[in-house]
């Protein structure tokens, strides 16, 4: 795990609840640690099916952000987001992937302009992107184009 630098202390913190969906255990563990260090409450799932179960268990509670890998077994990130946003249209979404943005868009996995962060990422870059997505205006969410 990468260590934080002095500049990283300037990354805005948060208190929102985040659902983290990542099939790679090490990546999920690192992302979980970063989010918790930044003050977020984190729910975690290793695949889309588990994530849907969690969203149903927490129905009525506010999950502010869904962070999901794009390519996962059982259910990919795009399908997961379509199902979650049909139940909770206000949830914000951040896709993460080891594949390049252009490749994902060209293969129809994501729409251009979707909130996306490439892996590997630094703790500071991840924390900043999470905060950026959470702070974006609700009506300007790029996920609207997926519905």
Instruction: For the chain, give every domain's residue range.
Output: 19-135
Q: What is the pTM of this model?
A: 0.84
DSSP 14-47: ---EEEEE-SSHHHHHHHHHHHHHTT-EEEEESS
pLDDT, tens digit (0-9, with 9 covering 90-100), for 59-71: 777 899 999 998 8
CATH number of 19-135: 3.40.50.2300
Kindly provide the b/e burial profile for residues 11-39, where b requires at least 16 CB atoms within 10 angstroms of the residue's own CB. beebebebbbbbbeeebbebbbebbeebe
Whether the pLDDT of residue 102 is over 70: the answer is no
pLDDT, tens digit (0-9, with 9 covering 90-100), for 82-97: 999 988 899 999 999 8
Residue 119 CB neighbours (<10 A) = 16
């Amino acid at each position: 795990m990468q260590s934080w630098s002095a500049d990283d202390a300037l990354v805005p913190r948060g208190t929102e609840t985040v659902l983290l969906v990542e099939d790679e255990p090490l990546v999920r563990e690192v992302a979980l640690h970063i989010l918790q260090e930044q003050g977020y409450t984190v729910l975690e799932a290793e695949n889309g099916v588990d994530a849907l179960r969690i969203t149903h268990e927490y129905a009525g509670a506010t999950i502010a952000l869904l962070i999901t890998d794009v390519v996962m077994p059982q259910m990919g990130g795009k399908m997961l987001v379509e199902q979650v946003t049909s139940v909770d249209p206000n949830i914000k979404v951040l896709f993460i992937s080891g594949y390049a943005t252009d490749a994902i868009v060209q293969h129809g996995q994501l729409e251009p302009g979707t909130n996306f962060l490439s892996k590997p990422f630094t703790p500071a870059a991840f924390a900043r992107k999470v905060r950026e997505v959470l702070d974006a205006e609700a009506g300007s969410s790029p996920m609207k184009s997926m519905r």
